[in-house]
Amino acid sequence: MIESVASGPRPAAVAGEGLSAARARILSLLRGDDSDWTVSRLVAETGSHPNTIREHLDALVAAGLARVVDDAPARRDRGRPPTRYRAASPWVSGLDSSLFVGALLAEVAERDDAAEIAHRAGRRWADALQRAVPAELAGAELVELMDALGFDPVVTEGGSVVLRACPMLDAARRDPEVVCSMHLGVAQVLAQSGGTVELQPMGAPEGCVLRCSG
């Protein structure tokens, strides 16, 4: 039985293949908003240092995942306007697997048992991930594994885990119950414990909350 799955908006990050969690979060922000992004805006959103943000943006642009906006309106005041960024179109950056995943999840969402199917799929996904876990993550705890998957987790003083990013942001916005059910299945398998793992979508201001007990 699925525990503590509810609908609601989702936090950041559609992870590009091979990206770090931090860089995937930046890419997710760019993809999740059609307006232009500046370094200062990303700093305010993530809390990262401006130089770190610039490094991530430069890497995303170099990889063809982001682009510099060259049609921004000229400023009337003095000074050089800030560089503005947007996510690159998938037609430019190559096939975006998130589009396929989103289409598949939308199809599943039309079924009455969509949440149960997604939950089972999540567990199956986690089983496959465990069989292919890299050497540096062998024996890693749940928080480390969720971080490697792009969820940008942080442990609270109370022991719960806040997931500050979502590797399926676009799909989650359309079908939150399906995506949350899948992520719950993933967490339950990766926790490798006989206890209870619960997921509360947007249970904290920063994102979703995982609670493990037992």
pLDDT tens track for 45-70: 888 999 999 999 999 988 888 889 87
* pLDDT (0 to 100) of residue 13: 34
Counts for the chain of helices (H) and strands (E), in that order: 9, 6
C-alpha–C-alpha distance, residues 47 and 57, integer Å: 15
β-bridge pairing 66-68 and 85-87: antiparallel
Write the pLDDT tens digit of every residue in 122-176.
Answer: 999 999 888 888 787 888 889 999 988 888 899 999 899 999 988 787 778 888 8
C-alpha–C-alpha distance, residues 154 and 142, integer Å: 11
Mean pLDDT across 193-204: 87
Contact 157, 112 (CB under 8 A): no
pLDDT above 90: residue 37: yes
Q: How far apart are the first and last CA of the chain?
A: 17
* pLDDT (0 to 100) of residue 134: 79
